[in-house]
Every structure is written in C-alpha cells, then in structure tokens.
Amino acid sequence: MAFLRQFWALFKKNWIVLSKHWVLNLLRCFVLLVAFGVFLGVAQVFLIKPNNLGLGTIVPIDQLATVFDPDSRFIWVDASNGTSTPPAQQLIDRLTRDFSERQKSKVERVENAADVAGACPQNFQLYSECYAALIINPGTMNYTLRGDAGFFFVDVERHTSDFEKRVLPLQAAVDAVSPACPSCILLADA
C-alpha cells in the first residue's frame, strides 16, 4: 500500500510540474529527445567519409612531389647510424629532388624513431600535421613508413584513398631509388 501512495504522490507532483510549464516540458521531454535520437541515427553520414570498397582499376601511382602538401611536414630518421645502403641523406636528397623550396622546407629530420610520435602528435581523429614519416633502418633498402592511424578512408573508384595519396607515393619514391646507384632510379620520372 505504501508503494501505491508514493507512486500516486509522485504522479500528482509530476503532473503539476508538467501542466504549469507544458510548452517547455513538451519541448524538453519529447521534441529534443526525438531530435537527439534522429541525430544519433544519421550522425555517421555527416561525420565520416563513406568508404567505396570493392575491386578497383589499375592506375599509376602519383609522384611524391605532386601529392606532398607543403602545409604538412615530412619527418625522417636515420636509425641506421650511417650503415644503410644507400646512405640515408642521399636517399632523402633523391626523394626531395623534385620538391619545391616550400616543400623542402617542410622536410625535417629527428634523431631517433621514438621521436617521431612527438614530432607528429595525433588529434582525437587520429590525424597529425605530418604527411608521413620515413625511418631508415640498417641494411640495404630497409625502411619503415609511418602514417597517421586515421588512414582508413578507401575509395576504389576515384582513387582518393588515404593510402593512395600519402603512403603509396612515398613508398614508390623510396623503392625507385636503386641501392647500387642512389642518384639513379629504377622507374621512370614521368
């Protein structure tokens, strides 16, 4: 019986509050609730680029000099202590040969691989202000590429995927340098 008395008292109290400010309460208890539910249902359309997955077509890889945005930074590390083939500085000189002066000013060297994360801090969307990072390890053409953790957008039809615009041009440029002749290239410069 005590439960019913408490329930009835609460019901009357809430009814009095709702009836005195009915417009405000209708807005607060129903309209805003429905609007928030609709927002949660369609937020991914506005906040995330839709992926276009599937089998794509073969296209040439963009040249590094054309896709490197001079508003971002390119970080590199010589983790080989001068024992890599080709030497790290020659490799970077070859990679940046076709860069503009503005692009070359954004190429930065850090002392070790652990400093890359500090040089390219990522935001909450897992993007940084860095184009990519190249860590040159000991040995012949032994390297590690690092990109942002937010690189997950894929578009196989328009070829505007994150990896196609950042990682693949850098990897192709590094792989194009011949270990036997650092000033030569294996692929055409076209």
Alpha carbons 113 and 90: distance in angstroms, whole number: 19
Mean pLDDT of 139-157: 88
pLDDT bin (cut points 50, 70, 90) of residue 190 is very low
33-72 pLDDT per residue, tens: 899 999 888 887 777 777 888 888 899 999 999 999 999 9
Residue 93: both structure tokens together: 């000189």
Q: Give the lowest-confidence range in 48-52, 76-80, 125-129, 143-147.
A: 48-52
Q: What is the pLDDT of residue 183?
A: 56
Strands of the sheet containing 130-136, edge to edge, are: 107-110, 73-78, 130-136, 143-146
Alpha-carbon distance values, 15 to 6, 10, 22, 73, 143 (Å): 14, 8, 10, 61, 70
Q: Which one, of 170, 148, 161, lies nearest residue 67 by Cα?
A: 170
Per-residue pLDDT at 187: 46
